[in-house]
Amino acid sequence: MRVDKSLAYKFCTAEYNLPFADIYFFDKFVITQAKEGVTYSKSELISLIGAITKHFPENVPFDFISNRINDFSIDPLDLQWFLGTFNNMRSYNVAYYDSPSKGNISIESLFSPVPVYSYAHLDLALQALSLSKEIVFSTNARHN
């Protein structure tokens, strides 16, 4: 499920649509969606770091969700470097939609300096972060 089609999207506080990914910011977490076929290099990761640190300065804890609706690639060592730049990241959560993506998550977790959790789809990742207690999903809510 695309973030912009989810109930959570109504609570998005900022959105960036970059050539390689869409980034959605919420009060306590960020969701990224890679574009189809992207290969992340350090320059793309540096752009993500800049956007994330703008919304979550070093003293503000946050959770990260990678919503993997598209195929992309990233070197596990680059992912380790990326995740290690955030002292305030509490967890790295992956919403996968096919079995190859699930297999990649176990490899990525070997390189991650933060806890890695995987979920069969975005709604399960959001539920696992206990967001339903912090955000009431209502059809009357409006997107900012």
Q: CA 92 to CA 62: how far, in whole Å?
A: 10
Q: Are 133 and 107 in contact (CB under 8 A)?
A: no
CA distance 68 to 59: 28
Range in 6-15, 32-41, 64-73, 108-117 with the lowest mean pLDDT: 108-117
- Residue 63, pLDDT score: 95
Per-residue pLDDT, 108:
83
For 30, 37, 81, the CA distances from 49, given in Å and listed in that order, are: 12, 21, 11
Is pLDDT above 60 for 91? yes
Q: Indicate whether 90 pLDDT > 80.
A: yes
What average pLDDT does the segment 85-92 reach? 95
How much is the pLDDT for 138? 37
Q: Which helix (H) or strand (E) holds 118?
A: strand 116-119
Task: Write down the pLDDT at residue 76.
Answer: 87
Residue positions counted in the chain? 144
Q: Find tokens 């696992």 and name the residue.
A: 128
The answer, yes or no, to whether residue 144 has pLDDT greater than 70, is no
Who's near 107: CB < 8 A, 6+ residues apart?
76
Mean of pLDDT values over 27-43: 95
Query: How much is the pLDDT for 33?
Result: 97
Question: Cβ–Cβ contacts within 10 Å for residue 38, how many?
Answer: 17
Is the predicted pLDDT of residue 128 greater than 60, yes or no? yes
Q: What is the pLDDT of residue 98?
A: 77
Q: For a pLDDT cut of 70, what percent of the chain falls above it?
A: 87
- According to DSSP, the residues that pair with 62 across neighbouring strands are 89
Classify domain 3-134 at the CATH topology level: Transcription Regulator spoIIAA (3.30.750)
CB 8 within 8 A of CB 131: yes
| In contact, 114 and 92? CB cutoff 8 Å | yes
Q: How confident is the model at residue 131 (pLDDT cuts 50, 70, 90)?
A: low
Identity of the residue numbered 89: M
